[in-house]
Structures are given as C-alpha cells and as structure tokens.
Amino acid sequence: MFESLGDKLTGVLDKLRGKGALTEDDVNAAAREIRIALLEADVALPVVKEFIERVRERAVGQEVIKSVTPAQQVVKIVHDTIVETLGSETAELKFATPPCAFLMVGLQGSGKTTSTAKIARFLTDKQRKKVLMASLDVNRPAAQEQLRQLGEQTGVATLPVVKGQQPVDIAKRAMDTARKEGFDVVMLDTAGRLSIDEALMNEAAEVKKATNPVETILVTDAMTGQDAVNTARAFDEKVGISAIMLTRVDGDARGGAALSMRAVTGKPIKLMGVGEKWDAIEPFAPDRIAGRILGMGDVVSLVEKASETVDQEKALKLAQKFKKGQFDFNDMLTQLQQMKKMGGMGALMQMLPGMGKMAGQLEEHGVDDSMLKRQEAIILSMTKKEREKPDLLNASRKKRIAAGSGTSVQEINRLVKQQMQMQTVMKRMRKMGMGKMMGAMKGLMGDKDAALLGQSLDPDALARDMAGLKDEGPLGPNPFDDMGKGPKGLPPGLGGGLPGLGSTLTGGFPAKGSGRKKKKR
Amino acid sequence: MVFWRKKRNASEQEQEERDDKLLHPSREPEIEPPTDAEEPSLAHDVREVPESGVLEELAETPVPAHTRLSDAREAEVQREARAEEDGGGWFSRLSSGLSKSTRKISDGIGDLITKRKLDDATLEQLEELLIGADLGPRTAARVVADFAQGRFGKEIGEQEVREALADSIAKILEPVTGELTIPDAPKPFVILVAGVNGVGKTTTIGKLAWQYHVNRKKKLVIGAGDTFRAAAIEQLQIWSERAHCPLVAKQVGADAAAVAFESYEKAVEEGADILMIDTAGRLHNKANLMAELQKIVRVLKKRDETAPHEVLLVLDATTGQNAHSQVEVYRDMLDVTGLVVTKLDGSARGGVVVSLADQFKLPIYAVGVGEGIEDLQPFHPKEYARALVGL
C-alpha cells in the first residue's frame, strides 16, 4: 500500500539528482512536492506541516554531506523524519499477570472483530497464550454471532453468549471466566462507535474501568483520511488507548493515517492486518514501513517471512548444492513451493526494494501466482532423472512434459532458460565471492560512477559522514549486513533468486544488495 | 557396452543443436514480461472456506429486539424528530450530524476572516481548511482558485466567504445529484451492492429495503451474496426481517454467483419489483476477488441481458484519497452506476466526494447518517456544501 507514496517521493527527488549541492530552492521545490504527496497519501494537514518544517530545517544547512547527492540527502532526511514520526523501533504487545484484558475499540467497520480473531490466533500460535474472546457488541446485528464463528474457525475459545447482557457485564463475566478457567489473555471486542457519540464513548470508558486492560487497541483502517487525527485524539482522550492497529494494509491506500495517528497520540502502532487469512497479521515496524514509503522495499519483512516458512533442513541441503554451483529443477521446485507458501509473487515483489511499482505492472500484465502454478506443473511432469539432469531434456521429452502439464514447449524452454541462468549465476558466485563481485560491478559502470562508488564505499569517508548521523546510512540499516550471522539472515533457500521472475532477479540477494548500493550513488 | 555412445544420426544432431540454441542464447536474455497468464482463479479457490453452517443456531443469538412494532415506532420517532427540526429533513439532520465536524472548519474561517483583504495567505488558509475536510490537495486548490476569481484583493466578510465557498462546492456537486428511481420495467430491477470491507454495505441494503418496501410499497427480494465473512448472512437476515423482505441465502462458503442466480429465480417467482444483492467486502486491488464480482454480473446477464440495472458502490465517509482508487477500479471492473456515502454522521466530512464528483461524475444516490433503519437520505449538494462550510 505504501508504494505509491514512495513512487511519488522518488519522482520528486529524481528531479534533484545530479545537482551538486542542496540549495534552498531545491529544498523548497522538494518540500512542495513532498507536501502534495503526503496530503494525497492522507497524512493529516497539521502533521504534514510539522513534517515539512522538520525536513526543511534539516535539509538547508549543516547536515549536508559531501559524498552523497542532494537527492540522497533529501531521501535520507525524509526517511529519518518518517521513521522518527512513526517511532523508532518495533513495539511489542504488553502482558500482565493473567488474565489480562485486551480492549479493542474503533469506528464502525474498521475491522475490530476480524482483528480480534487475528490477534487471538497470533497470541495463541506465536506467544503460546491461552486466549478467550468476548464480544461486547450488542448494537450491530449478528456481531456476537460473528465472533463466535470466528472463534470456531480459528480454534480460539469464545465466551458463551448470554442474551440481553450489557457490555460492561459481559466484560466482567469474561474476566471471571478467564480467572476460573485459567486463560492468559481476554480479548474484548467492542461495538464500533463514532468518536462524537458521547454515550457509547462513555460506555467504552466504563468497560475499560471495569476490566483494567493492559492494552487498549485502537483499530483503524489504513484508508482513513484526514479524520484519522480526530478519531485517534478522541479515542485517546475519552477512552485512553495504549496501541494502534492498522488494518487493510494489503490495500493500495498509502496509509498516511499511520503517520497522522502516531504523531497526534504518540501511541505506538503495534500491529497491522495484511490480508483475509487468519495469519495475515504482522508486527508494525516503523523503519521498515518508512523504507516502503520511500519505495525502498521491505526486505527485512521478506527475510523474516522467509525464515519462518522456509524449511530449514531443506534450505541447508540447498545451500550445499549451491556451494557446488548446482541448481537443478528439484531446487527450483523447492523454491517455487516456498514462494507460494510465502504468499505468492505479488507479496514477495512488494517487499523487494524498487519492485513496488513493478508489482503493479506485473499484475496488470496478468503475471501472478498462476504462473508459479504452471511452472510447478511443468517440473512435476518431469521424471526424477530429468529433474536432476536438466541436460536430458530434448525435444520429444519436452513435448511429453508439455502435454503432461498442460503447457507448451515454449513455456518449458523458458523455464529451462531460467534454470540455466540460475545455474550460471550459482557458478559465477561460487567462483567470485563477494569482494570480486563488487569489483566486477565497478568494471561494469563508468569511471565516474566507479569513482563515486569507491568514495561512498570508502570506510574512512563513510565513517566521517556517519559520525554526525544516528544510523547506518542514508537508506537506514542495511538488511544485508547480518546475512550470514543472525538467525534472521536470509536462508539460502531463497538465495538463488525467484524463479518465477526469470532473469529479473537471477542475481539473487547478494547481487541485489550490491545493486542497491549502485542505486544509492 | 558402447551402444549408448554410438553416433547419433544427423536429424537428431540437428535437433540437439536447435535445442542447444534455445537453451544457451548467445546474448544475455532480456527480461521478458510474461504476458500469458491464465484467468485469475476465482476467490473461492483462495479463500479458506469456513466449515460451520450455523444458520439454525441464529435463534439463540441475542440481537437487539426488532419487532415490527418497534421498527414502526422507531421510524415514527425519527420522522417526528425530523419534522420538528426547522427547515425540515435532510439539511438539518446532516447539519446536526456534521455540526461537530464542521465547527472546526467554520471556526477556522471565523478566525481567518472577520473583514479584511483577500490575500494569498488567506487563500492558502482556506485551501488548508478544505484539505482538512478530505477534499484532497488538488480539488482544494481548484475550489479556492474558483472562489478567488474576481474577489482577490477585495474586502470580504466572513459570511460572504462561506456563501461563496459553499456555492463553489455545490457547483461541483450539482451534476452528481441523482435519485435511485425504480422504473416499472424491467422486473425484477436488479441492484448489486459492492464496496471494500467495512463500509456498510449490508446496513445500506437493510435501509434501502426498508425504504422501498415499507415506505414505497415495492416488492423486494434480497440475495445474501456475502458468503465469506462470518455471520454476514445472519446480519443480513436480521435486516431483511426488519424490512419484511424475503432473503435468499446459501451456506457459508457458497459461490456468490450461485446465490445471485438463485435470488434472481426467486425474485421472478415472487414477481418482485426489486432484487438487491449483497456482496462480500473486497479490496479493489485484489484481482481474483474482483473477478468474482464480475462473475456475479456474468451470471445475472444470463437471465437478463440488462442486469444488473444499478451497481451501487458504497463508500465510507472516513475514507481519504484512496476513495479515488476505489471508485476507479470498481467502475472499470463493474460499471458502477452510483455511489452511496455512509457514516456521514461522524466527525469525518467525506469531502472526498467533491473531488470524486469532479473526476468520475457518478451520481450520489444516498447518504448514510446513522444506525437507525431510516437513516438513509437522498443527497442534496447545496445543503451538503453549506453544511460542510458551516452555514
């Protein structure tokens, strides 16, 4: 969803590219464009104003660094300011001595009930909590029934419904039940209410008083406009919220509401809803989101998701094969299947730097997961031997495979081509190692570019530049830094690039990372 | 044991070479944008189908008691309350709904201009006030430019500023005023209701059904096309009971298009004037879910070439500029014929309709201003514009 804002800013900043130093005019031009972009992204006006002022102050003056371009400079400043506004680190949900209550509040139709079920499932699966859900929505027809059904679908316990009971009483009963039956967390789903509805706001405050929730979560639609400020402020003042959850982040709204609400309430955005399935909920990570806002992609999310879904053992096996420079159709199949597990191509593309735009284009061209499906079908129609030794494939074998998989010989050729390319990349990578690859890249670029790259890669110069800055560089922490070491490092299973994209990404992540350095310049 | 090493014949070799060429292109192959994708698979392949079909347990679910009598009473009270308000009806109702929200915008203008020259700074502030009402930066700039024309540099009073602003906004909104009229033929007149999640589609159908059935004595059938969300069918069932209309529903997870087809059959059988079909909320950027909506339309067209006769897109007034993208995609995919704007009784002003009117020219058939069964009103641009600037 955030890609569009990123595209906008990238467009603005491209105009600045190539100029020597950042003048006040440059900054003003950028500021105007950033202002429009932010407003169109639904960031609330007061927040935009403050944001622009901060960017302007920083941009004109002492913080100009010589070794980077003005555009980079502005990217860095805008990025930092967004991160700063969103809060600088991931905020975790809090817990207290069981049973502790989570109170869900928000406007009508913001997604409270669905989010309640998602959080309950999230806590059950990831945090091993025993969760009880209770619906306090006595206003909307069938709301309590909805939560009961969600409980059935997600396998989370729900409080039996007692006809005609009022919200405060239901909440108290839920807490009693939790105490008696040993639940850790009680999720209280309230009715949607307008922030100007005094009676209902008071009711929410009463429920809060009666249950003393450890988290009071304001659920807000990512598509919300300027009103996000009023809503967040009203709920914070009248009920008192401790966290914000952003829903429908999988839409194409730019999500300026996130910036606005955070700026106005100072309350952390802890979670986001990213799809219709129960596991489509993610912790909100401001630095990553800021990266996405700027169109830099969300590699960290990808890596985390990968390490979750990718089978570690298989990955290890793959890694050993890669070391030998082999990449056969079995490896490709594993990758395809892992990609599918990770939410398909669209989801992956959105997370890759600079690919946000492309994801949209691909979708327009009808490239989607059906392509992955067909490629998988092709490989599945091969014999074991063919999968291990792609060289075996001759015309008649290809014809057979095409018939078996319901595809055409051309498609098989394309797949074979991809496999060959990846194999080549594997071999090259094995031969070169990272250091040499950088060298090769320099060779590919012009002299001036190479000199610039050298400059920006010169550790001394970098150290000098960074001394005055808080974090790792103009583009934030480099997600590739910890590739080898941490558990969050990219599992090798993904290292070979994404087969579905063919030559787009055959370089795999290491090359991608260096490619980013190239772009940075 | 050399038979497997024997020379291949010429034709085989040729073939090998050809294959080789395919396999090893001489130059670096370019990125091919693969264009040959299949039709996106329909939503029911993707969505997890919930297992429970729990309609029968509905009886145990407590809901607010809505008897025929209490509904009639509620409607009566609402009508009376409206009659009491001077000016009568929509305007005062909307104003009271908007009063909280407009106070800010009108206070803003009050602070801004008591009586002074109209200069750039004032115009900028006016623009910001409109942006704050979700008009969006571009439309706000346009409205302000329109307003400034011929007034720049002149002394101007607060009242005049408001009148002029309201006029400018109303001018944009006037072309999109429309009422949802039901002609005598064709029968049944099919209305498909769509929108993203949580905008109030089901509630809007309930209110519309009440309006047409109870107030205008039309015969209605409602189709429960939201077969995905938990308890959506139950929710619509309660609304249909309140409006005393028959509901056609299948189990959770059923094909929405099948529901549409069956409800059409039912509508024909009952000789209904209107068939309203609810759909599951879906984000407009989900291609497969949008394809599911198109399937509903295709299926309806099998029975009636002209159906659906109206496709209503329901918009939430709290939505910001993303409404553009919603309207655009829904219009392209589904030929939306009109809009319903809901939740205008909150603090959101729904100013995005102004830029929508400007860009898409789709009529706004109704606005939702509350949770009551009569809280759906026709859209009056002048009064909306005046309420928006606090007149």
- What residues contact B379, with CB distance under 8 A and at least 6 apart? B177, B178, B341, B364, B365, B366, B367
Return the pLDDT at A96: 86
- Beta pairing class for B338-342 and A215-221: unpaired
Least CB–CB distance from B320: residue in A36, A223, A366: A223
How far is it, in rounded angstroms, from Cα B232 to Cα A149?
A: 11
Quick check: B197 and A417 CB within 8 A? no
| Residue A230 C-beta-side C-alpha neighbours within 13 Å | 23
Cis peptide leading into residue A99 (ω within 30°):
yes
Q: What confidence tens digit (pLDDT) does each residue in A151-172 have?
A: 999 999 999 999 889 999 999 9
| The 3-state secondary structure of chain B, one letter per residue | CCHHHCCCCHHHHHHHHHHHHHHCCCCCCCCCCCCCCCCCCCHHHHCCCCCCCCHHHHHHCCCCCCCHHHHHHHHHHHHHHHHHCCCCCHHHHHHHHHHHHHHHHHHHHHHHCCEEECCHHHHHHHHHHHHHCCCCHHHHHHHHHHHHCCCCCCEEEHHHHHHHHHHHHHHHHHHHECCCCCCCCCCCEEEEEECCCCCCHHHHHHHHHHHHHHHCCCCEEEEEECCCCCCHHHHHHHHHHHCCCCEECCCCCCCHHHHHHHHHHHHHHHCCCEEEEEECCCCCCCHHHHHHHHHHHHHHHHHCCCCCCEEEEEEECCECCHHHHHHHHHHHHHCCCEEEEECCCCCCCCCHHHHHHHHHCCCEEEEECCCCCCCEECCCHHHHHHHHHCC
Number of neighbours of residue B255 by Cβ within 10 angstroms: 18
Least CB–CB distance from A107: residue in B31, B321, B346: B346
Number of neighbours of residue A95 by Cβ within 10 angstroms: 15
Return the pLDDT at A116: 95
Which residues are B184's β-sheet partners? none
How far is it, in rounded angstroms, from Cα B10 to Cα B181?
A: 77
Least CB–CB distance from A142: residue in B32, B61, B371: B61
User: B312 and A225 in contact (C-beta within 8 Å)?
Assistant: no
In Å, how far are A176, A222, B22, B116, B135 from A103, measured between CA atoms?
16, 20, 61, 50, 33
3-class secondary structure, A59: helix
Q: What confidence tens digit (pLDDT) does each residue in A68-110 have?
A: 556 666 767 777 788 888 876 667 888 888 889 999 999 999 9
Residues of A in contact with B32 (CB under 8 A): 414, 502-503
**Helix axis angle, B232-242 relative to B201-209, nearest 10°?**
20
Per-residue confidence band for A434, with pLDDT thresholds at 50, 70 and 90: very low
How far is it, in rounded angstroms, from Cα B14 to Cα B188?
A: 67
- Beta pairing class for A100-106 and B376-377: unpaired
How far is it, in rounded angstroms, from Cα B103 to Cα A232?
A: 18
Closest-CA distance, B184 to chain A, in angstroms, reads: 32
Of A208-217, A244-253, A367-376, highest mean pLDDT: A208-217
Residues of A in contact with B323 (CB under 8 A): 223
How far is it, in rounded angstroms, from Cα B109 to Cα B122?
A: 9
Amino acid at site A71: A
Whole-model pTM over 0.90? no
Query: Tell me, what DSSP letter sits at residue A391?
Result: G
3-class secondary structure, A254: coil
Return the pLDDT at A374: 86
User: A154 and A278 in contact (C-beta within 8 Å)?
Assistant: yes
Return the pLDDT at B150: 78
Return the pLDDT at B353: 93
Please say if the pLDDT value at position A192 is more than 90: yes
Number of neighbours of residue A326 by Cβ within 10 angstroms: 16
How far is it, in rounded angstroms, from Cα B105 to Cα B129?
A: 6
Percent of chain A with pLDDT over 70: 62
| Residue B345 C-beta-side C-alpha neighbours within 13 Å | 16
DSSP of A444-507:
HS-HHHHHHHHHHH-HHHHHHHHHTSSSSSTT-S-TTTTTTTSTTSPPHHHHT--GGGGGGGTT
Which ranges constitute the DSSP H helices of A281-328?
Answer: 286-293, 299-309, 312-323
Please say if the pLDDT value at position A364 is more than 90: no
Which residues are B116's β-sheet partners? B156
In chain A, % helix, strand, coil (3-state, to 5) comes to 60, 10, 30
User: A72 and A286 in contact (C-beta within 8 Å)?
Assistant: no
User: A241 and A94 in contact (C-beta within 8 Å)?
Assistant: no
Average pLDDT over residues A461-475: 38
Give which of B9, B44, B347 to mutate to test A binding, by max A Cβ within 10 Å: B347
Range in A324-333, A432-441, B101-110 the model is least confident about: A432-441
How far is it, in rounded angstroms, from Cα B362 to Cα B374?
A: 24
Residues of B in contact with A417 (CB under 8 A): 22-23, 25, 29
Cα end-to-end span (Å), chain B:
100
How far is it, in rounded angstroms, from Cα B123 to Cα B143?
A: 10
Closest-CA distance, B169 to chain A, in angstroms, reads: 18
Name the helix (H) or strand (E) containing A443.
helix A409-444
Structure-token pair, residue B313: 């897109």
In Å, how far are A517, B29, B225 from A426, measured between CA atoms?
21, 17, 51
Least CB–CB distance from B62: residue in A44, A164, A414: A164
Classify residue B87 as left (phi > 0), alpha (psi -120 to 50) or beta: left
φ/ψ (deg, to 5) at B165: -60, -45
Return the pLDDT at A214: 94
3-class secondary structure, A244: strand
Quick check: A503 and B31 CB within 8 A? yes
Helices (H) and strands (E) in chain A, counts: 24, 8
Average pLDDT over residues A448-465: 41
Angle at B127 between CA B122 and CA B131, to 5 degrees: 150
* Closest among A382, A431, A434, A436 to A407, alpha carbons compared: A382
* Closest among B226, B263, B227 to B245, alpha carbons compared: B263
Structure-token pair, residue A430: 């094995």
DSSP of A79-122:
HHHHHHHH-SS--PPP--SSSEEEEEEESTTSSHHHHHHHHHHH
- Beta pairing class for A243-247 and B155-157: unpaired
Please say if the pLDDT value at position A182 is more than 90: yes
Q: How long, in residues, is chain B? A: 391
Residue pointed to by tokens 């429009």: A36
Number of neighbours of residue B358 by Cβ within 10 angstroms: 18
B-facing residues of A in 485-514 (CB < 8 A) are 502-504
Return the pLDDT at A235: 95
Q: What confidence tens digit (pLDDT) does each residue in A249-298 have?
A: 887 777 788 888 998 998 999 998 988 888 899 888 776 666 665 545 44
* Closest among A328, A317, A366, A327 to A345, alpha carbons compared: A366
Classify residue B66 as left (phi > 0), alpha (psi -120 to 50) or beta: beta
pLDDT by residue for chain B (391 residues), tens digit each? Answer: 334 444 445 566 666 666 555 555 444 444 444 444 444 444 343 344 444 444 444 444 444 456 666 677 777 776 666 655 444 444 455 555 454 444 455 555 555 555 567 788 888 888 888 898 899 888 898 888 888 887 877 877 777 888 888 888 999 999 998 888 888 888 899 999 999 999 999 999 999 999 999 888 999 999 999 999 889 999 999 999 999 999 999 998 899 999 999 999 999 999 999 999 999 999 998 888 999 999 999 999 999 999 899 999 999 999 998 899 999 999 999 999 999 999 998 888 889 999 999 899 999 999 999 888 889 999 999 989 988 887 7
Residue pointed to by tokens 């370019």: B30
**What is the ipTM score, two decimals?**
0.74
User: B368 and B343 in contact (C-beta within 8 Å)?
Assistant: yes
Quick check: A224 and B318 CB within 8 A? yes
User: B311 and B300 in contact (C-beta within 8 Å)?
Assistant: no
How far is it, in rounded angstroms, from Cα A101 to Cα B361?
A: 48
Structure-token pair, residue B377: 């009103």
Structure-token pair, residue B124: 């900028």
B-facing residues of A in 362-421 (CB < 8 A) are 362-363, 365-368, 370-371, 374, 393-395, 411, 413-414, 416-417, 420-421
Least CB–CB distance from A420: residue in B23, B51, B234: B23
- Beta pairing class for A281-283 and A269-273: antiparallel
Return the pLDDT at A75: 67
Average pLDDT over residues A173-180: 94
Which ranges constitute the DSSP H helices of A212-311?
Answer: 227-238, 256-265, 286-293, 299-309
Burial B289-328 (b: 16+ CB within 10 A, else e): bbebbebbbebbeeebeebbbbbbbbbbbbbbbbbbbbbe
Average pLDDT over residues A32-51: 84
Closest-CA distance, B372 to chain A, in angstroms, reads: 11
